[in-house]
Structure 1
């Protein structure tokens, strides 16, 4: 490797070089040489430093100066620059002989900390603690704690370092508790704080006073407990903090009760002054002991047991609410937990209203665990139970504007609203609500929603079968035949009818003597549905037709039976054949009835053939007698 000519010793260097040749181990000579060349490029000074340290590897003065200059070179460079690795190597070489020098360690540790080399820095801190005597550890620990408190440091690494530090100096437990709180490690923070507060011998460094004297620390402890309970997200962590908090309050009460008796000094004052000087005694005592009374409690009084007991009782009363808050922090969209929270405030309608308000504002119907519409319904019922129908209607009106995950949720709210109106005898209002709910959106609204590309459930509400079923039942009970028929027809037009709705519609018309219209409804039903859903419609249709017309429209009845049998699968034809045969027996010819039975024996599945034959033979014997029965048996 070629060396630049400017790095060679110059004419001015010859004097120093000659002296160093005669005495290469003289620190004074090397130092004078470096001072004389302080304006030279660092590369030249670097060569001088390296030669000097090769001759004097145990010189603290040379190493410190050399490392200081190297630090100045990298000061403005990015931490990824290769010069940093060269600097680190130089520090490692220095520590071979300087491992007992805390200043060299500190310079190295500060440099590594700035480089964000977590693992390497941690191991170097550990090496420093092993190399230096215990009396020098304070200087290292200060940097170590600052290093593990940096943003982005793994929590587990910080915890391990802090726990080791407490073994070195347990008096800094308050700093550790503060770190735990800032890191939201509530369980260990609560355990450490409880152990400190229960230690009568603990001496607070920060407060410079004993913790059973430090009233301000009591309030700080409560603040930490309260913050922990209102931020944890697991029930286990909450239980740990709450138990520690309650133990803390119980220990406070126990300590107060131990000091409940008047001090000897106070008793002497009372005895000396006597009862006749009661007012003066109080003034003297208040002045002497600085006591004040407010609302039955002694404030700023070490013997304030009543206040301590009240605080403990208040804490215990809040446990269900606080535990519920933990679960809601886990999932604020948990509908069941919001209902439970409302029940906690039973007897306090104002708090319940505030809770429902927070619930409906917080729960996202698209993320909800449970049925979000039940929150709105319960909210409205709360007002209804307090005879405030105006606000109940306001709640329902807001509820029907929410975009739920399913149409059924929205339909349930409309039904609940209508039921509330019915309970309060507002039948006209209930019908009007259901007319509003089942109205089809206008063309303009559909066009606007289509442009947005996000269709809310309100656009599908007019096809809700639950809503239409409720509406038609209400019309049957409160409306006219014409209005009820209009609702049934609208259901059929929307193609959302069920077999039961078809049957109900036909029965309604039959009750009002519209028999042919009823049979037309059955005809529409058997065209809409397939097996197995159409089975009940056919059975009802055929029964009603036969009952109504008997033998007067026998041919039409036969056509209906033939059509029904043709549409039915093999496992469903047996009851139809039996009904058909009964028609022929009652109103037709016996031979036709036997023919129907004969067809049935061939049409039913194999597992029903034997039973069908038995019926066939039995009916033949009953109708034609035993000779004919044998004929039919031989025929089969």
Structure 2
């Protein structure tokens, strides 16, 4: 090849081929026909004159000593030129080095980088020749270095900056052929962006080759195919991906998401895709993704609509709404179905209107429109039934939905019977949701309503043999049968049915709650069944037959408190009082408290009303209170005491009330003591209540003991026992914090003002201070005090507080005056004197007794 020369032309650097051997410009423009020796001599002179300087002589000599074996002299020469030489001189040295060492990767890499960096600022469209010369350099390098991937990648990157699609594609292909497969990834990293930018058929062909080695990027290939309109090939690629269980989406898409994209592609471009069985693919998705059947059925119907096959679209929608299992899927399909029908009807109506406007009448079009309108109306009428079908497909044991379906048929007898028949056949009694017996009962009532009682009885006979989920349902079924006979005035038949239902061995050992036994084996212990039976017998049969039923209930040990009361009332109505009392006693043997309390209450009330012997009544009451819990003792003791007061001795009544104060619960004890004291005072006088008060104060908690002390003190005051009353106040003071219970201290204060003297008043004040000091050290009382203060502030009794403060100030003034030295006379003026005067005035005003002691503490 000829050499290269770099010259300046028009401000741009032009590269001439074969700078080392080409003559300079002046020579090339002159005598072209001269001899070779003359050209060589002239060329050498030009090189010596322009490209080799005196500074280069050292490097030239070093190269001449060993020009072909060692790379170091060339590298030193190149480094020198890179620092001091022009671009022409650098290229000159590189060309000579590459010819001397053509397999040196390092020199070629440096040379190519120099040439590339030099032309990159130039526009490839304006200077194609300069870029072509660099391309030639790359080609020369690749003759011997075609196994070097970096040379290829640099070359390919350089080509991608030029508008040479075919040349670049060929270079990529040559690189792939030249390099081992382990290095292909480095080429593909450039080849794929190039293919995407090239677009069109070129991109598709390149991607097809790429897919052979990198199938994991199929999703990107599919996007390219769709963008290029290759819908069928894109669908086929999706099918390959979905059939490959090892494929993992690089975008993190789930299997269903990929299915959805395939379906959307098939449906959207249904007219372009012809070689793929779309219906088969969509149906396989329907069977695989049960939770997305609504969307897939809609897609299948839409596919046939786009294809223009409306009948197959309608078939797809119909199959969808009759097979889906959820209301959500049904709604999705039904909405698409109705929209499809409305659009067809709308188009037909527009076409018909257009024809009529032109004066043309098309009977076939009008007939087709009428048919489609009828279909649409039928579809809308079927909607409730279709929704019901969906719910029953979800759970065929849903009794409520079966009953709704019966209601949907209205007066259609044939369909109602068919629905009932299907329902009792489909529902599993053990898994029924709702009351399965109500379905059988409704079935029988339907025939009863239409006068076919024989068929209704046959249904009832079948129903009572059904293994229901619970005994309760079977009992309800027997009751429904009996009630049906009662509605038709067949009373004896109803009794026979209930007798059959409750038929059981004399001594039944069956456990009502034993789930291992069938409901038919346990139903004879159903309280509901026996309750209905006994009410029925009581209404239509004799007393003896009714008693037999009640006795059977007691024998089976299924009697309830209500059974005992009903049986006793029945006997009482028929004047069998003693027998009714025995029934109460039998009930008390069966039941303990708290149920026994209600029975005792009724029993004792009835016995008292019958005025039976007092000793017998006492016996009954003693039995009642023997094991009575404190919670229920109050009522029975009050009845007992009242009985003694009316028919016995008052002394016995007091003894009973005294027992009651110990037997009742804590919350009733205070009230019981009050009642006891009232009765004692009315029967034996006030003085008889003193030991009761004393025992009450000992027995009651502090709060209630304080109230009892106040009552006790008031009683003593009325009796004139002032000292005893004062002692009671002093005893009660230990329960009363002055800041929490001011009422107690107010009452004691009034008591002392009316009945006390200076010493007793001071003693009261001393006790008050002592109690307050005691409570100040008690954490619990401090907390309760804070709560009481908040409550008091909340109530807003500001006036009362002011009055209380005035009283306390007045009493403090009296106390200070009382503590003054003997002979000391308080001033009549000033703060202290005014307080004392106010105290005296207050005392005088609050003294109700004119004979009370005058507290003149100035003496």
Task: Report the TM-score range of the alignment, normalised by the length of the smaller protein.
Answer: 0.5 to 0.7
Q: Which of the residues 259, 263, 266 maps onto 1:158?
A: 259
Check if 1:391 corresponds to 2:455. yes
Classify 1:575/1:57 alpha carbon distance in 2 versus 1 (closer, same or farther; 3 Å).
closer
Superposed displacement of residue 302, structure 1: 6.7
Superposed displacement of residue 131, structure 1: 10
Q: Hey, what's the Cα distance between the residues in 2 that align with 1:137 and 1:251?
A: 30
Higher relative contact order (CA 8 A, sep 6+): 1
Do the aligned partners of 1:260 and 1:303 also contact (CA within 8 Å) in 2?
Answer: no
Give the aligned partner of residue 500 of structure 1.
562
| More displaced stretch, 171-180 vs 387-396 | 171-180
Superposed displacement of residue 166, structure 1: 6.5
Q: Hey, what's the Cα distance between the residues in 2 that align with 1:440 and 1:517?
A: 26
Check if 1:252 corresponds to 2:344. yes
Classify 1:58/1:377 alpha carbon distance in 2 versus 1 (closer, same or farther; 3 Å).
same
Q: Which of the residues 595, 614, 629 maps onto 2:685?
A: 629
Q: Hey, what's the Cα distance between the residues in 2 that align with 1:161 and 1:475?
A: 74
Superposed displacement of residue 557, structure 1: 1.1
Q: Hey, what's the Cα distance between the residues in 1 that align with 2:639 and 2:492?
A: 45
Classify 1:309/1:417 alpha carbon distance in 2 versus 1 (closer, same or farther; 3 Å).
same
Unaligned runs of 5+ in 1: 1-55, 60-87, 113-119, 205-210, 212-216, 271-288, 292-297
| More displaced stretch, 387-396 vs 562-571 | 387-396
Superposed displacement of residue 610, structure 1: 2.2
Q: Following superposition of structure 1 onto structure 2, how do residues 509-528 of structure 1 map, counting pairs within 5 Å?
A: 509-528=571-590
Give the aligned partner of residue 665 of structure 2.
605
Check if 1:464 corresponds to 2:526. yes
Classify 1:373/1:429 alpha carbon distance in 2 versus 1 (closer, same or farther; 3 Å).
same
Superposed displacement of residue 629, structure 1: 2.9
Give the aligned partner of residue 284 of structure 1.
none
Give the aligned partner of residue 548 of structure 2.
486
Q: Hey, what's the Cα distance between the residues in 1 that align with 2:231 and 2:408?
A: 53
Check if 1:409 corresponds to 2:409. no
Q: Following superposition of structure 1 onto structure 2, how do residues 92-131 of structure 1 map, counting pairs within 5 Å?
A: 123=216, 125-126=218-219
Check if 1:183 corresponds to 2:282. no
Q: Which of the residues 389, 397, 403 maps onto 1:333?
A: 397
Classify 1:420/1:151 alpha carbon distance in 2 versus 1 (closer, same or farther; 3 Å).
farther
Q: Which of the residues 534, 542, 545 maps onto 2:604?
A: 542
Q: Hey, what's the Cα distance between the residues in 2 that align with 1:381 and 1:586?
A: 60
Check if 1:436 corresponds to 2:500. yes
Superposed displacement of residue 143, structure 1: 4.8
Unaligned runs of 5+ in 2: 1-174, 196-201, 248-254, 287-291, 693-859
Superposed CA deviations along residues 411-454 of structure 1, whole A, max 9, x for unmatched, are: 011011101111110000100011111112699999xxx9xx95
Q: Hey, what's the Cα distance between the residues in 2 that align with 1:444 and 1:522?
A: 24
1:222 partner SS: helix
RMSD: 4.2
Q: Hey, what's the Cα distance between the residues in 2 that align with 1:498 and 1:445?
A: 18
Superposed displacement of residue 255, structure 1: 1.8
| More displaced stretch, 523-532 vs 168-177 | 168-177
Superposed CA deviations along residues 298-340 of structure 1, whole A, max 9, x for unmatched, are: 6xx5752221111111111111111122222222222222222
Do the aligned partners of 1:437 and 1:462 also contact (CA within 8 Å) in 2?
Answer: yes
Q: Hey, what's the Cα distance between the residues in 2 that align with 1:444 and 1:489?
A: 14
Classify 1:506/1:126 alpha carbon distance in 2 versus 1 (closer, same or farther; 3 Å).
closer
Q: Which of the residues 424, 428, 437 maps onto 1:373?
A: 437
Superposed CA deviations along residues 195-252 of structure 1, whole A, max 9, x for unmatched, are: 6677xxx5x3xxxxxx2xxxxx222111111111112222222112111111111112
The alignment's TM-score, normalised by the length of structure 2, stands at: 0.51
Do the aligned partners of 1:148 and 1:161 also contact (CA within 8 Å) in 2?
Answer: no
Superposed displacement of residue 157, structure 1: 3.1
The alignment's TM-score, normalised by the length of structure 1, stands at: 0.67
Do the aligned partners of 1:141 and 1:165 also contact (CA within 8 Å) in 2?
Answer: no
Do the aligned partners of 2:266 and 2:278 also contact (CA within 8 Å) in 1?
Answer: no
Work out the number of aligned pairs and report it: 492
Superposed displacement of residue 618, structure 1: 3.0
Q: Hey, what's the Cα distance between the residues in 2 that align with 1:129 and 1:577?
A: 94
Q: Hey, what's the Cα distance between the residues in 2 that align with 1:444 and 1:471?
A: 18
Check if 1:349 corresponds to 2:413. yes
Do the aligned partners of 2:658 and 2:676 also contact (CA within 8 Å) in 1?
Answer: yes
1:609 partner SS: helix
Do the aligned partners of 1:259 and 1:303 also contact (CA within 8 Å) in 2?
Answer: no
